[in-house]
Amino acid sequence: MVLTRQNKDSQSNPEEEYTALLRSLRWTEGFGLLFVQCSPAEGSRIIDQVRQDLPQKQVEVLSIKDPIENLYDLVDALPNKDDIDVLFIQGIEHSLYDYEKTQLWENPSDHYTYSEKNVPRLLGHLNLSRERFRDHFKICFVFLVPLFAFKYLVRRAPDFFDWRSGVLRFRTDPQTVAQESLKLYGDYKEYLTWTQAERNNRILDIQNYLEELDQTRDKASLLLQQGNVFTASNEYKEAIASYDEALKHKPNQDAAWYNRGFALGNLERYEEAIASYDEALKHKPNQDAAWYNRGIALGNLERYEEAIASYDEALKHKPNQDAAWYNRGIALRNLERYEEAIASYDEALKINPNDANTFYNKACCYGLQGQVELAIATLKQAIDLNPKYREMAKTDAAFDRVRGDGCSAVPEG
């Protein structure tokens, strides 16, 4: 008997789907292969219900938490494999992550259309092992998979998938999906504290919901979260692909434009970063962080006058931003406008009076002007806060004029 519920547009009744699943499990003796497309939470509910409704069957669960390449060996290693009637398999999506991530930034158009150019190793192994599953295991396998993983099975493991004895869909209503997806919204600073495994799992969770969401607005917000998780992992190419996809759904999403610029800047693609910040500022002109990071990108391109103008805009909206005052000073120093640079460093020191780096750069400006006493006194303040600046000053060309005066440019401890 083959059960098929594959029409995505038809609204399947969860009770009818569950009845069909239960009937198939009750009648199947020996090898069987069922695919159930559902959310992870729905999958857990299905397992609990089946255990209650089929007490005569030995029901086990193989929960896969980490990427694998060989499912057969994992099943074969189960100590009670000969006694199992029904084996629910959860988590094969974890084995798609590395492939999914690579496709996301290398071939974004292929990724979102499920190109068949390549096959994740797990699915390739399933294609080659279907006879071994049938011949060696008298088990009805029930794969519980989210929609995006289900599509991988259909399109990239056709040899294995075609042996199915049933396909069922437990679709959650769009409103519930949208509400549940809100649980995946987090804070970028929080993502930075997570382990890489935790961030990987969040990407998978997001992928699960992206396939189910109907509203483009909801997809844009979730893709933004995905990009932020990638950024927290320093995976900037993947992040940019996520932000680009988010902007297809919501072109005026200033946060996506800003974060995209941040990722581009970290890849040293400064021209593109500036263009992205400009788009963010069209939608949110008072965003101090966008003005500030735009200034950083301009400075890296040695466009110092423009960088100063960008820092000035940032400081209009957030005057107590010491980093903006400091980097403004750097740009002014590069233009040899030393008095203005010193004034900018002083503003930074009003906000953060213990920043050794600012004192050091201020001392450099004095040195470049040949103001020996002020250079030495300011350098001493930097060294008192951080001794590393003593060694730096010994070879720094900014103090050449001070040394030429016959003075020691480095205060002794």
Spatial separation of the C-alpha atoms in residues 355 and 53, rounded to whole Å? 67
Domains and CATH numbers, the chain: 3-171 (3.40.50.300), 354-413 (no CATH)
pLDDT (0 to 100) of residue 4: 40
pLDDT value, residue 349: 98
CB 181 within 8 A of CB 21: no
| pLDDT profile of the chain (413 residues), mean per 10 | 40 80 92 90 91 96 90 96 96 76 50 51 88 95 88 85 85 70 85 89 81 74 94 95 95 97 98 98 97 98 98 97 98 98 98 97 96 95 96 92 64 57
The gap between the terminal CA atoms of the chain, to the nearest Å, is 87
Q: 10 Å Cβ neighbour count for 66?
A: 10
223 in Cβ contact with 248 (< 8 Å): no
DSSP β-bridge partners for residue 361: none
Beta-carbon contacts of 275 under 8 Å, excluding residues fewer than 6 positions away, are: 261
The residue count of the chain comes to 413
> Which tokens belong to 81?
């494999």
Q: State the pLDDT at residue 397.
A: 93
- The DSSP string of 291-306 is HHHHHHHHHHTT-HHH
Ranges assigned E (strand) in 38-112 = 59-63, 86-90
Q: What is the pTM of this model?
A: 0.73
- pLDDT given for residue 115 in this prediction: 44
Which residue type sits at 274?
I
Is the CB of residue 365 less than 8 Å from the CB of residue 399? no
Give φ, ψ of 406 to 5 degrees.
80, 15
Please tell me the distance from the alpha carbon of residue 157 to that of residue 96, in angstroms, as a whole number: 12
DSSP string, 200-239: HHHHHHHHHHHHH---HHHHHHHHHHHHHHHHHTT-HHHH
Continuous segment of H or E residues that includes residue 32: strand 32-37
CA 130 to chain centre: 35
